[in-house]
Structure 1
Amino acid sequence: MTRRHRKSSATAPAGYFAWEAAGLRWLRAADGASVVEVRDEGEDFLELPWLESAGATPEGAEALGRGLARTHAAGASAFGAPPEGWEGDGWLGPLSEPLPLTVGAWDSWGRFYGEARVLPMARAGRERGTFDATDVDRLEALASRLAGGEHDTDDAPARLHGDLWSGNVMWTADGAVLIDPAAHGGHREGDLAMLALFGCPHLDRVLAAYDEAAPLAAGWRDRVLLHQLHPLLVHAVLFGGSYVRQALAAADRYR
């Protein structure tokens, strides 16, 4: 009998597992990086194949970089677009406490990132007491600058995993497999910056292979922290502590 992994929760928001399933299917349809298959789903569960863990290799990292380039190139209808067939907002964060993730359609990355990523986290942090009024002013100033397009590039909306920290890359004997997405249309640098945030194995090989397959825009290294700001804000809202200082320092760098 084939082993399966059943991901379940009786307390997850209604629609949470359907959101994740939609994202997995959308990413798999790109025929790029390997993505875990949805075997079954219900209101309170998701059934997936069992993935046998193995060590990351340089060759696997290069294959991941090339695969991500193809996934991103499959594109999205707009910045902020949800997976095909999904309606309403999604979620991002741990299964024990997922936070709402705004989706929709924006014609520029900067406006999308400011309005749908920075400002919602600023409001959530204020409501929870994580940020004070001055902190919110700092984040609003960055959102305004983003809306002006200063940090935009010519990149078209990419098909993003959306939560691509190292824990959502499962290394198997056949290479890397992506799990647990918060898939949406965004800037391709976002997934790469997320890989760097929490230490992806052989990251240099991933990035080199990606850049060879789909050259990144000039100055991309200077924008890594900007793309890391949203996950830092999420961690600040959920966990507080040093994440608050890191998130505000990142915002200050670009505002």
Structure 2
Amino acid sequence: MSIREAVLDDGRAVVVKHGHAPGATAAEAAGLRWLAAADAVPVPSIHRADDSQLVLDRVPAGRPTTAAAERFGRGLARLHAAGAPAFGAPPPDGPADAWIGLAPMANVPGEDWASWYAAHRVLPYVRLAVDAGTFGAAEAAVFERACSRLPPSAEPPSRLHGDLWTGNVLWDGERAWLIDPAAHGGHRETDLAMLHLFGCPHLDRVLAAYQEVAPLTDGWAERIPLHQLFPLLVHTVLFGRSYAGQALAAARSLR
């Protein structure tokens, strides 16, 4: 996906994105609208969205502060609480065949989190990595065993950003903004696990504020590796063996 900055006739600074595949920008726009509808964490306004181009307001640059981090944590809790029709549900008007970064991501609804997560957020990327020669058969079996050990969850489907690494959280000095979603219905701990995996400024303050609004269930910290399987496998598919070791370690932590 190519990205450039531009200035509208009225002087507003915007970001112009061209999709890497047909429909990618329209899918991103659907995700942004769905996140915005929760009125919880700000997202850039959309000026234009079609199958090939997306034009968004540019978020002004600033420093992440503790106050902004706490505001983000409370907002993220409200975003998740806005919910989704099912695990794997796409945003309204969003495609079932979507993307996370440059990797394919299938939005296939399911009612049981563990079986849905295994079938649509773990094993498809293992198969892609095997097909590319990144994983061998014995390594693929590690992930298959891990999927058989996924714990059940009583959590309802949350409205996820879906690709919540630190590069997709922008700070303007007062607030955090969300960009580049791979939005879908999922387990809220998956978004939080991505923040842990790739770092987030003042993460301890973000989590404390989150828990004030929506306390996490017991044992959530021990479940971080299983929720990191998804982003680690996506990165393995996109970048090869550099992430394979982390993905295998996360899978082996499920006993």
Q: TM-score, normalised by structure 2?
A: 0.93
Q: Name the counterpart of 2:204.
A: 204
The answer (yes or no) to whether the contact 1:153–1:217 under 8 Å persists in 2 is: no
Q: Name the counterpart of 2:153.
A: 153
Q: Name the counterpart of 1:6.
A: 16
Of 16, 41, 45 in structure 1, the residue corresponding to residue 49 of structure 2 is 41
- Give the whole-Å Cα distance in 2 for the aligned partners of 1:224 and 1:185: 18
Q: Name the counterpart of 1:249.
A: 249
The answer (yes or no) to whether the contact 1:163–1:181 under 8 Å persists in 2 is: yes
- Once the two structures are superposed, the pairs formed by residues 103-114 of structure 1 within 5 Å of their partners are 103-114=107-118
- The one-letter code sitting in structure 2 at the alignment partner of 1:134 is A
Aligned-pair CA distance for 1:239: 1.2
- Give the whole-Å Cα distance in 2 for the aligned partners of 1:242 and 1:123: 17
Moved more, 49-58 or 158-167: 49-58
Name the SS of the counterpart of 2:22 in structure 1: coil
- The one-letter code sitting in structure 2 at the alignment partner of 1:45 is Q
Alpha-carbon displacement from aligned partner over 1:122-154 (angstroms, at most 9, x marks no partner): 1000111110011111111222233xxxx2332
The answer (yes or no) to whether the contact 2:28–2:182 under 8 Å persists in 1 is: yes
Moved more, 115-124 or 231-240: 231-240
Aligned-pair CA distance for 1:237: 1.6
Q: Name the counterpart of 1:127.
A: 131
Would you say 1:144 and 2:152 are equivalent positions?
no
Q: List runs of 5+ in structure 2 lacking aligned partners.
A: 1-10
Aligned-pair CA distance for 1:88: 2.2
- The one-letter code sitting in structure 2 at the alignment partner of 1:114 is A
Q: Name the counterpart of 2:59.
A: 51
Would you say 1:224 and 2:224 are equivalent positions?
yes
- Give the whole-Å Cα distance in 1 for the aligned partners of 2:166 and 2:240: 21
Q: TM-score, normalised by structure 1?
A: 0.93
Aligned length: 245
Aligned-pair CA distance for 1:241: 3.1
Relative to structure 1, the CA distance from residue 175 to residue 244 in structure 2 (aligned partners, 3 Å threshold; closer, same or farther) is: same
Alpha-carbon displacement from aligned partner over 1:88-111 (angstroms, at most 9, x marks no partner): 221012xxxx11101121111111
Q: Aligned Cα RMSD in Å? A: 1.1
Q: Name the counterpart of 2:32.
A: 24
Name the SS of the counterpart of 1:174 in structure 2: coil
The answer (yes or no) to whether the contact 2:114–2:153 under 8 Å persists in 1 is: no
The answer (yes or no) to whether the contact 2:67–2:174 under 8 Å persists in 1 is: no
Q: Name the counterpart of 1:89.
A: 97
- Give the whole-Å Cα distance in 1 for the aligned partners of 2:46 and 2:133: 38
The answer (yes or no) to whether the contact 1:169–1:177 under 8 Å persists in 2 is: yes
Q: List runs of 5+ in structure 1 lacking aligned partners.
A: none
